[in-house]
Amino acid sequence: MRSFPFVRARRRARAGAVAALVFAALGLSATAAHADPAIPALTDGYGLTQVGTPAGTPGNFVVTVNTPQVSGPQNIRIVLPTDYFTAPTKHYPVFYLLHGAPDDPVNMTPDVLPALNGRDSMITVMPDGGERGWYSNWVNQNTAAGAQNWRNFHLDQVIPFIDANLRTIPTKQGRAIGGISMGGFGALRYVQDNPHLFRDVATFSGLLNMELVIARGAVAASATNIGHVLLQSCGGPCFPDFGPIVPANAILGQLFLPFLGPPANILAINPTSNMRKTEGVHVSLYTGTGSLELAAEPSANAAKASLDHLGYPYHFVNYGNGAGFGDGSCDGGHNRFCWNQALLDHLPRLELAFSS
């Protein structure tokens, strides 16, 4: 039945009066009841102490922390689902994304990786990995870089800190990890040593095969501050250097043996040599053939060959020069345009996996 304008207005006024009485009975005001969300208040713990106040918006912000495990303040970017504040009893899976060298989560802004925005069903966490931390507890802790226990920082501190402060699903089935370039190395290593923590791992132009001289050369170059030609993995402006110069062997240990190939210590931690340890974890591999993919493409191919041999499930995309991949912004190179398109392919599939 049609209602006239003055009748609708009277009904709205009556409804507003009732709402005001309810708010008053609860000790609230209509303004307070509809207040915009704020950045969640996080509690220190697990060895992490917050520095200052978080920066950003309620749905996409950066927390800075201090930890005895790693020298200097470290940034953690957190991107919340679009309904995080309107569904206060809902819990979400978490996708950890490890950046490349020499990058920082502060650079991973919405305009750099727009694929990360508006994810409805997961929390995305991008923890600091240092300009050249290589997601490892360094072999030599007595360098000018100070404490460099990145593995401890991420696995023993960041993950429980996130689970304690946000509405996560704190199980293997509610947790996935991925990494860009250097971060791809870290993501696969973390999964291979901790398959109970993650259900899914993805690498984007990952440096996964340390049997390659160029890959070990990238580690040495980052240690000695000559690595920008090999390691331009920045989402935003690159750092002028990787920090203080340290010995080439300080990060992963001995890198080269004359005429004898990779040292045993490298083979023990080499992701493509240990793909059998990904059993029970779904693997996704993305690579191109363009600029600076000289180590990433053969790394992805080696990982794929190992997974084929093992019979493990995986998703493999070699987008070549980028032609026909996504919106056309990817040129096949080692850059954020290709990684964004790869994330646009990966994240919807990950969301489906989380919902199953």
The pLDDT, as a whole number, for residue 7 is: 35
The pLDDT, as a whole number, for residue 10 is: 40
In three-state secondary structure terms, 57 is strand
Beta-bridge mates of residue 212: none
The pLDDT, as a whole number, for residue 317 is: 98
Domains of the chain, residue spans: 1-35, 40-355
Instruction: Output the six-digit token pair for 74.
Output: 């470290």
The pLDDT, as a whole number, for residue 227 is: 62
- The residue among 226, 272, 255 whose CA lies nearest residue 102 is 226
The pLDDT, as a whole number, for residue 210 is: 97
pLDDT < 70: residue spans in the chain: 1-35, 227-240
Beta-bridge mates of residue 61: 56, 78
Assign domain 40-355 one CATH number from 3.40.50.1820, 3.40.50.2020, 3.40.50.720, 1.10.10.10. Answer: 3.40.50.1820
The pLDDT, as a whole number, for residue 119 is: 81
Phi, psi of 189 (to 5 degrees): -65, -45
Instruction: Output the six-digit token pair for 326.
Output: 């996504």
Q: How far apart are CA 92 and CA 80, in angstroms?
A: 9
The pLDDT, as a whole number, for residue 235 is: 56
The pLDDT, as a whole number, for residue 34 is: 47
- Taking the model in full, what pTM does it have? 0.88
The pLDDT, as a whole number, for residue 31 is: 41
The pLDDT, as a whole number, for residue 123 is: 97
The pLDDT, as a whole number, for residue 262 is: 92
Beta-sheet pairing, 49-50 with 60-67: antiparallel
